[in-house]
Amino acid sequence: MLKTKNLVSGYGKVPILHGVDFEINEGEIVSIIGRNGVGKSTFMKTIIGLNSSMSGEIEYSGEIINKKKPFERAWLGMGYVPQGHMVFPNLTVLENLEMGEQISKNGSSESNYDFIYEYFPILRERRTQKAGTMSGGQQAMLSIARVLTGNPKIILLDEPTEGVQPNIVDAIGEIILKINKELGITILLVEQHLGLIQSVSQRGFAMDKGVIVERLSREQIHDYEYIKKFLAI
Ligand SMILES: Nc1ncnc2c1ncn2[C@@H]1O[C@H](COP(=O)(O)OP(=O)(O)OP(=O)(O)O)[C@@H](O)[C@H]1O
Ligand SMILES: [Mg+2]
């Protein structure tokens, strides 16, 4: 579904990714793990088009998309949940959801938010509340709900549990599994929280210094001694 070949990108003239080879198939949940600053977010931003690639290929549904603008990639069904959640703090929950919907041509209309509220009942209760006044966990949920309003085929989730209380982490894990299974959405996850990585990932990639250093099976992901070297702990 999504594939990169020798992908190089960075900031200004400085490369951060030095040739990333990666692929995810339709319907999969795949994680990328790696210590702080190795280039995980840069990789996601390059896939979604917020960072331009210097060389290499990004292929999505059989098409090379390196030159496409971020909104064009959204129209093709690519959704992105940035690190830090990035909800609009001064907009209400409902207004945040509407912003997500407008990014995509495939968006659901407001009357159709029911399926989103089924995954996130708390957001129905809070729909008139300013997003910035909610807890970290609720903002994390809103950031995932917002991307769902665009009916994406794949979602790139960058550290959804950052700044989220432990009891909400499990809820986020269950939501990831459900939207994958029930809505058929492919998930690419960047995470530091090992419990979440283990509970949702079918396989993974380890990144270090801007390259993929290992491909990880589900068994390896569940072997703490094996993968701890790739985690920021
Ligand atoms: N906007 C930017 N301009 C210049 N350099 C940047 C920018 N964003 C990130 N970098 C640098 O690129 C490198 C990779 O950063 P990136 O955010 O991709 O890492 P990461 O793996 O997501 O880290 P973390 O786990 O802390 O989120 C780091 O050295 C970082 O300082
Ligand atoms: Mg990051």
User: Could you give the CA distance from residue 163 to residue 152 in angstroms, rounded to a whole number?
Assistant: 25
Give the tens place of pLDDT for each residue, 160-198.
999 899 889 999 999 999 999 999 999 999 999 999 999
- Cα 192 to ligand 1 centre (Å): 15
Q: Which pLDDT score is estimated for 43?
A: 98
Give 130's pLDDT tier (boundaries 50, 70, 90).
Answer: very high
Mean pLDDT of 84-94: 93
Q: Whose CA is nearest to atom 5 of ligand 1?
A: 11
Pocket probe mutation, ligand 1, options 17, 18, 38, 159, max atoms within 8 Å of Cβ: 38
pLDDT for res 103: 65
pLDDT in the model for residue 112: 72
What CATH class is the domain 2-228?
alpha beta
Calculate helix-pair angle for 136-148, 93-103, nearest 10 degrees. Answer: 30
Q: In this model, does residue 108 exceed pLDDT 60?
A: no
The pLDDT score that the predictor gives to residue 111 is: 60
Looking up tokens 């009891």 gives 167
